[in-house]
Structure 1
Amino acid sequence: MNWCDMLAFNTFYISAGIGFVSEKRIERRLTTILAADIVGYSRLMSSDEAGTLSKLKTHRKELLAPKTTEYNGRVVKLMGDGTLMEFGSVVDAINFAEDVQRSMKERNESVPEDHRIIYRIGVNIGDVIAEGDDLYGDGVNVASRLEALAEPGGICVSGNVFEHIKGKVDIGFEDTGAQLVKNIPEPIQTYRVMLESATAEVNASSGKAKRSLLWPALAGSLLLLAVLVAALFSQSLREDPPSEATTLTAVSDKPSIAVLPFNNLSDDQNQEYFVDGMTEDLITDLAKINNLFVIARNTSFTYKDKPVVVPEVARELGVKFVLEGSVRRIGDQVRINAQLIDGASGAHIWADRYDGNLADVFALQDEVTGNIVEQLQITISPDEQSRRTKGDTESTAAHDAYLRGWQFFRRNTPEDFVKAIPHLERSVELDPSYGQAWAALAALYWIAYRNGYAWSIIVNPDKSNGVSWYGALNKAEANLRQAMRNPTPLAHQIESQISLEYRQYEQALREAERAVGLNENDPAGHLAMAWAQIFSGQAESAITSTEFGVQLDPQFPGSHLYARGVAQLILKRYEEAANTLERALSFNPENRAVLMPLSVAYTHLGRKEEAKVALEGYDEFLLFFSPGIETYLTRWPFRYEADIRHLGEALIKAGLCCNTDLETYLEKLRKGGTLE
């Protein structure tokens, strides 16, 4: 019997002929509910059960109990590591939560990081059912969901808490958007308490107070198959190689290497994901070394399952060394064979075999990487000496689940996204601090939002557990917040894209710079930087960023050429732009977003018929959306009016629409404060 049925049952009455006998009336009231729990409680208990219980009791006695009395609260119930509390005043509840979190931070300063007790707190105002000293109902459920959304050591509150408290406390809040949570039918508006801030206003520089200004325009066009996702992912996630090869000379004074896909020697061919993941891990490990130039994964994998002649590969890719090898996994036993080969002569420089069990796989990879670095006589910093960096995991089970999900995610189709989600969710369940797995989930939902996958079969092919268009964006941002606790290059790349969507140019540039800083050999980081530079008015610098991308990923240059062509277009180098965009389209005909800037370039060159054909092709790409100026230009979040007008006027000349529509759109941006 659910609580609604119980309510109906307990309020019935019976006739006794002379009067009525009734059950005790259910008490309902509006109140402030606070839910708190301990981050990683199961891990703490498994490593030191007695010590964890002792610390928990001490914190409750010395901190929580006195603070509860001080702020006029009451403990409704304790549930293991969880606490449910009630406050008559929302101000008291927020002040209690802030005081507890600041005090816990101080109490943890002398405690080793892996032994700290850290709380998450959620606060809600809602209608509850009171039964004795206990509370039930959606008001309680929402508080519990808010607690789960809070950062470790942080506080998450509902929109109604914020509305009641704003201006009454000297605490800052960041708008974190409407969140879809389990068993609550409607999205919950959420805010993060900014413990580092001393102002009781919504943070408009990074929260959605500023971002919400553009929603009317964004909702109008739905941003389907938009510029940034097409650029950053449609090329990089393709499995099939382009029809044309690119031959390079050596591109760097640094030692340069290509890691070819390792062969799967396992009896079980289903271990292909594991072997491919091993190869990709080695590429990533080597790519983190600043004194080494490493060919990107996409280009390396064009040689998968093909006979290769190493000197020819080295010449095609412009590298001095090639690493190839094999992996055999039988049960929990793993054997890795690796050979480092001179690219010019084809001679073996070094070869070795590594045996261990699955629990040793990270150490085995470290050993392979270390031997390669030693053979190439590269000097590395202490931060580069271990593959385990921020955003990685020490859990082989979590990593295995991530690899299973990543193999589907890379295929970039709605059906494969459906298959990827449970593996990636399993990965972060096994290791909640696994930043790369959180980033992959954020990227998946971000692409689903931008590409319209959320409308079809995302999450479940029978549509029984789908997400809305807004829900996909909410999930992308929620997963990204988790990823940014232990950020990886992918997390910074997604944050840069989302920042551009909301026209937060400095943040977009900053995040792209962080992505490149973490891995100079990741072409996606340079591509994110190029788009941030293009839309921020730094087109010349964007061309340089795309050059790095092409060097690192020579077999997959389409996305980088696309960005370069747009940069050339903004710089009014129309002949170069047309040539570059045509090349981009030849490498990736599926990326029809290229047709819009190509139409603009043709228009400025006086090639009117070609401009019209390109524009018509782009109209088909937009599917059923209105081919109006706003639908087109909303996808291009330029910082400066001159750049938007430059494109808009050319589209009008190509036959898109009238001048009035362009002026109306520009006026909307001016009023929104998003145009310079």
Structure 2
Amino acid sequence: MSTERVERRLAAVVAADVAGYSRLMGSDEVGTLAALKNVLRDLVDPAIAAHNGRIVKTTGDGILVEFASAVDAVTCAMVVQGLMADRKDGAQQISFRIGINVGDIIVENGDIFGDGVNIAARVENECEPGGVWISDDAYRQVRGKTTFAFDDRGERSLKNIDRPVRIYSVSAAMISTAAGVRTSIEPKKLLSLPDRPSVAVLPFSNMSGDPEQEYFADGMVEDIITALSCFKSLFVIARNSSFTYKGRAVDIKQVGRELGVRYVLEGSVRKAGGRMRITGQLIDATTGAHLWADKIDGALADVFDLQDEVTTRVVGAIEPSITRAEISRAQVKSTSNLDAYDLCLRALAAHYSHTRADIDKALSLLDDAARLDASYAWVKAFAAYIHCLRIGQGWDAPGDREEATRLAREALVSGSDEPKTIAFAAHAIAWLAGEHDIALAAIGKARHSNPNSFDVLIRSGWVYAWTADFDLAVEHFKRSVRLNPIDPLLGYAYCGLAFVHNHKEEYEQAVEYARLTTNNMPNWIFGWIHLTVSSAYIGHIEEARAAAGHIRVLSPSFSLKQYRGISSSKHDWMLEKAAHGLRLAGIPE
């Protein structure tokens, strides 16, 4: 009889695998293997080492890791998923599911066995792509010891496990930034369904075989979202929240829960020669049932008609009570010049990064579009807005403000009824020229035409904030957040709320929204401005000075004079309130 002693110990076990691995291998075996190897080498292995983990073994698509600490295990998993979500290279298609358990394990020849391992693997099987789910035993070890939020997913009967296991999903609740500035992140909450039909349009796959055509597929989706949002009886998630799922293997039911919608539209675009094919499928996210699936073919010259056909079919499947006349009113296009339209799509795609190079590129593309169609009102409104971004960041050249003001005025008098055109032009004319009454009238018109547009609501919120109509501003900012709940650029709404609360002398609330802004958009100067102001007024001088330091990193010569030049507050008292807060933090005159 063998007297060899079995080694046992308590451990936190992490099991991870690649979501949709078989599908990825079937479509591109070599590319998938290379992408996975790069992710493991560049992200996963360093994170495990940094959190004192031990890689037990790797399989074709998975990895098993042992930690002595449950806190280290959960923190490492969240770091990995955060890095994966931010990854911008060819490994974007790789998405991990991660399960964690704390339990007794058997160790033999470096490998580990037992229920402690099996439960981690089964929890991982339940997890959504891109998520971190943990067992109740792991939850008890980390509860109150991390800054993460935990959502109870209920008890699950797991394969070959003799008892139900309660499972929790993990989401970010707080991180720390440099220079001592505390930055909160709201826990990811499952949103309730609106009181009307609700839909999210996911990014369409580019099937053209040319990565350079990605902007075209994205632009198609943006136009479909805009068309759907024109229907007042629908609730349509904004573009940037939908596009956080780009390049990821997704669970449609989970998308529905995270965005708070009943329906999800996904599809693809193939553009070849003078022809185009759009495929789409509309799914009920609450049940997974397919409501409509089809392909629409046509000439590239008929691109607007093809977009309208997709919109019509989606609307017909979701809300049959919408009449054909209503659909026709929503299908108003602002140019017939396809080359100008194409340049606008390229400009849209470029500007979302908000880097100086891409903002300059977007403006150049819009200049080219304007030369092709001088009557294209959206080009003028969007170019005016791009100038606003440049001026606010201190990237402008002499004459930019005058040029942008001219473009905004021309867009407003063009006769365009397109709500987004009106809203962007109104925002620019208020911010650049201080013509608040004109902006208020225009933004009211845009909001009447499309009260469901994130782009309209966020601009409306700012115009009302600048004119001290704070209640309406808060209402519009908060509605914009619900329409766009996971947008990486939600800082525009959070900063608006910080601005309002600062001027209402509700500085504690202003600080929280300003921290959210700087976390979402750390390179946008206005988030740091309003964090400086709110922190200074409540006596957090160290935090205020740290925030002021970030302002000077972004704009080394920043002063109160410069702030007055980029402030659009209608009333002097508003301008001086913010200026005094900046002064308290050491910003010079």
TM (norm. structure 1) is: 0.55
How big is the shift at 1:333?
Answer: 1.4
Equivalent position of 1:555 in the other structure: 486
Equivalent position of 1:351 in the other structure: 293
How big is the shift at 1:292?
Answer: 0.8
Equivalent position of 1:522 in the other structure: 453
How far apart, CA to CA, are the structure 2 residues paired with 1:360 and 1:535?
42
Equivalent position of 1:210 in the other structure: none
| Cα 1:437/1:246, change in 2 over 3 Å | farther
Note the 1:490-569 alignment, pairs <5 A.
Answer: 490-556=421-487, 557-569=490-502
Note the 1:414-453 alignment, pairs <5 A.
Answer: 414-421=356-363, 423-453=365-395
Q: Is the partner of 1:386 in helix, strand or coil?
A: helix
Structure 2 contact 215–346 (Cα < 8 Å) conserved = yes
**Match for 1:292 among 234, 237, 255?**
234
Note the 1:79-228 alignment, pairs <5 A.
Answer: none
| Cα 1:541/1:421, change in 2 over 3 Å | closer
Equivalent position of 2:405 in the other structure: 477
Equivalent position of 1:369 in the other structure: 311
Equivalent position of 2:335 in the other structure: 393
Look up the equivalent residue of 1:589 and give its one-letter code. P
How far apart, CA to CA, are the structure 1 residues paired with 2:549 and 2:356?
26
Equivalent position of 1:403 in the other structure: 345
Structure 2 contact 498–509 (Cα < 8 Å) conserved = yes
How far apart, CA to CA, are the structure 1 residues paired with 2:329 and 2:216?
17
Equivalent position of 2:262 in the other structure: 320
| Cα 1:267/1:610, change in 2 over 3 Å | closer
How far apart, CA to CA, are the structure 1 residues paired with 2:354 and 2:306?
31
How far apart, CA to CA, are the structure 2 residues paired with 1:589 and 1:256?
31
**Match for 1:278 among 206, 220, 223?**
220
Structure 1 contact 322–340 (Cα < 8 Å) conserved = yes
How far apart, CA to CA, are the structure 1 residues paired with 2:317 and 2:216?
26
Look up the equivalent residue of 2:542 and give its one-letter code. E
How far apart, CA to CA, are the structure 2 residues paired with 1:574 and 1:370?
47
Equivalent position of 1:309 in the other structure: 251
Equivalent position of 1:639 in the other structure: 570
1:625-650 Cα offsets, whole Å, 9 max, x none, are 4x3x4333443333334333433444
How far apart, CA to CA, are the structure 2 residues paired with 1:290 and 1:299?
20
| Cα 1:580/1:395, change in 2 over 3 Å | same
1:398-439 Cα offsets, whole Å, 9 max, x none, are 322322333223333343345445543443444333222332
| Cα 1:599/1:370, change in 2 over 3 Å | same
How far apart, CA to CA, are the structure 1 residues paired with 2:433 and 2:384?
17
Structure 1 contact 262–326 (Cα < 8 Å) conserved = yes
| Cα 1:251/1:513, change in 2 over 3 Å | farther
1:337-359 Cα offsets, whole Å, 9 max, x none, are 11000011111111111111112
How far apart, CA to CA, are the structure 1 residues paired with 2:562 and 2:205?
47
Structure 1 contact 391–436 (Cα < 8 Å) conserved = no
How far apart, CA to CA, are the structure 1 residues paired with 2:431 and 2:396?
21
How far apart, CA to CA, are the structure 1 residues paired with 2:464 and 2:238?
22
Note the 1:210-249 alignment, pairs <5 A.
Answer: 246-249=188-191
1:77-102 Cα offsets, whole Å, 9 max, x none, are xxxxxxxxxxxxxxxxxxxxxxxxxx
| Cα 1:607/1:511, change in 2 over 3 Å | same
Q: Is the partner of 1:411 in helix, strand or coil?
A: coil
How big is the shift at 1:369?
Answer: 0.9
| Cα 1:252/1:276, change in 2 over 3 Å | same
Structure 1 contact 531–542 (Cα < 8 Å) conserved = yes
| Cα 1:643/1:481, change in 2 over 3 Å | closer
How big is the shift at 1:296?
Answer: 0.7
Structure 2 contact 392–566 (Cα < 8 Å) conserved = no
Structure 1 contact 496–507 (Cα < 8 Å) conserved = no
**Match for 1:330 among 272, 282, 293?**
272
Structure 1 contact 285–387 (Cα < 8 Å) conserved = no
How far apart, CA to CA, are the structure 1 residues paired with 2:347 and 2:577?
42
Structure 1 contact 388–394 (Cα < 8 Å) conserved = no
Structure 1 contact 296–521 (Cα < 8 Å) conserved = no
| Cα 1:422/1:532, change in 2 over 3 Å | closer
Q: Is the partner of 1:637 in helix, strand or coil?
A: coil
Structure 2 contact 230–330 (Cα < 8 Å) conserved = no
Look up the equivalent residue of 1:502 and give its one-letter code. A
Pair 1:340 & 2:282 matched: yes
Structure 1 contact 390–435 (Cα < 8 Å) conserved = no
1:644-672 Cα offsets, whole Å, 9 max, x none, are 34334444444446xxx7xxxxxxxxxxx
Equivalent position of 1:73 in the other structure: none
Equivalent position of 2:93 in the other structure: none
How far apart, CA to CA, are the structure 1 residues paired with 2:536 and 2:479?
29
How far apart, CA to CA, are the structure 2 residues paired with 1:656 and 1:426?
40
How big is the shift at 1:304?
Answer: 0.8
RMSD (Å), alpha carbons: 2.7
Structure 1 contact 540–571 (Cα < 8 Å) conserved = no
| Cα 1:486/1:308, change in 2 over 3 Å | farther
Look up the equivalent residue of 1:565 and give its one-letter code. A
1:447-478 Cα offsets, whole Å, 9 max, x none, are 334434344xxxxxxxxxxxxx21x2233233
| Cα 1:518/1:245, change in 2 over 3 Å | farther
**Match for 1:585 among 502, 518, 543?**
518
How far apart, CA to CA, are the structure 2 residues paired with 1:619 and 1:414?
17
Equivalent position of 2:547 in the other structure: 614
Structure 1 contact 395–431 (Cα < 8 Å) conserved = yes
How far apart, CA to CA, are the structure 1 residues paired with 2:453 and 2:273?
33
1:20-69 Cα offsets, whole Å, 9 max, x none, are xxxxxxxxxxxxxxxxxxxxxxxxxxxxxxxxxxxxxxxxxxxxxxxxxx
How big is the shift at 1:245?
Answer: 7.2
Equivalent position of 2:533 in the other structure: 600
How big is the shift at 1:486?
Answer: 4.1
Q: Is the partner of 1:252 in helix, strand or coil?
A: coil
Rg larger in structure: 1
1:497-529 Cα offsets, whole Å, 9 max, x none, are 332443332223223223323332322322222
- Select between 632-641 and 530-539 the one with higher mean Cα deviation: 632-641
| Cα 1:337/1:633, change in 2 over 3 Å | same
Look up the equivalent residue of 1:260 and give its one-letter code. L
Q: Percent identity?
A: 32
TM (norm. structure 2) is: 0.63
Structure 2 gap ranges (5+) = 1-183
How far apart, CA to CA, are the structure 2 residues paired with 1:397 and 1:614?
44
- Select between 328-337 and 374-383 the one with higher mean Cα deviation: 374-383
Structure 1 gap ranges (5+) = 1-241, 456-468, 662-676
Q: Is the partner of 2:485 in helix, strand or coil?
A: coil
Count of residue pairs brought into register by the alignment:
401
How far apart, CA to CA, are the structure 1 residues paired with 2:355 and 2:260?
32
Q: Is the partner of 1:385 in helix, strand or coil?
A: helix
**Match for 1:573 among 502, 506, 518?**
506
Q: Is the partner of 1:356 in helix, strand or coil?
A: strand
Structure 2 contact 401–432 (Cα < 8 Å) conserved = no
Structure 2 contact 423–459 (Cα < 8 Å) conserved = no
